Amino acid sequence: MPSVRGREVSRRPGEILGEVTRLAGEGVREVTLLGQNVNSYGRDLGTDFAELLRAVDAVQGIERIRFTSPHPKDFRRDVISAMAECDAVCEHAHLPLQSGSTRVLKAMRRTYSRERYLRLVDELRVAIPDLALTTDIIVGFPGETDQDFEETLEVVQEVGYDGAFTFVYSPRQGTEAAMSPDQVPEHVKKVRIEQLVEVVQRIAQRQNAARVGRVEQVLVEGPSRTDPSVLRGRTRRNTTVNFAGSSAPGSLVEVRIDDATSTTLKGAELGAVAA
């Protein structure tokens, strides 16, 4: 809520670049740019987020750049161009949907429509063909009808997300939505969230299965949390990979993908990524 957070304030570009340069000198290979609405960065300083992406991309030693969370209404074409043109910017965008119903989005005061969101997805995928998309979705917002929920499922299936954080709406004291007389019954929310999760997982399984047989660049993070005999890392598309290998954390390696679930890939290390 803006009334709670206050106005957005951007850190100065030189301060950010100084920190990134220091981290790169310490051996850091991946950085994530964070903001409540990260792609509105710089408007209070006379700069913009696309310029920041390009500047961080130029820092020696930084191999991967991620950012979160952008707001669909501010995802401008210059940012898309920077994503496509900067070698270090990863092929992944977390693009919150919240609802696939324009009517519900308006009630949420999200300032974009279903149609505008889908146009943005098309623009991103044209510019970055191997883009992975993840999202946030809320079910059971006051006034959400069966038709509204079906429209959310339609968008999920049309976009084909690689993953989604799914939430059940719960009233927050003092908000307009909490005082709405059109609260969705808890048993309806439960049915909807279960249906949504099933659809999301089925699509994510399909998306990950399509990576089997490929060779992915993986940044090693350490031993797998579930099996210390194998390593864990992430692809540029931000998918977790568990794989047989011996490289140290922080290494960039090539991994052949042999298997997949809805949340992870599995494979074997082939060797270090060529410099």
Tell me what pLDDT residue 275 has: 67
Domain count, the chain: 3
Tell me what pLDDT residue 73 has: 86
Tell me what pLDDT residue 2 has: 46
Tell me what pLDDT residue 222 has: 96
Tell me what pLDDT residue 175 has: 87
Alpha helices in the chain (DSSP H): 2-5, 13-25, 49-57, 77-85, 102-107, 114-127, 146-159, 186-209
Containing structural domain, residue 263: 215-272
Residues 196, 156 within the same domain: yes
Note the pTM of the prediction, 2 decimals: 0.92
Tell me what pLDDT residue 38 has: 92
Pull the structure tokens for residue 66. Answer: 């991620």
Domain CATH number, residue 146: 3.30.750.200
Tell me what pLDDT residue 194 has: 98
**Mean pLDDT in runs of 10 for the chain (275 residues)?**
64 96 97 92 92 98 95 92 98 97 96 96 97 98 98 98 97 87 96 98 98 98 93 98 96 98 97 84
Which of 67, 90, 113 delimits the end of a domain?
A: 90
Tell me what pLDDT residue 33 has: 96
Residues 134, 242 within the same domain: no
Tell me what pLDDT residue 173 has: 84
Contact 232, 241 (CB under 8 A): yes
Closest CA to 162 of 100, 204, 209: 204
Which of 60, 90, 120 delimits the end of a domain?
A: 90
What is the spatial distance between Cα 212 and Cα 219, in angstroms, rounded to a whole number? Answer: 18
Which of 24, 55, 90 delimits the end of a domain?
A: 90
Residues 162, 232 within the same domain: no
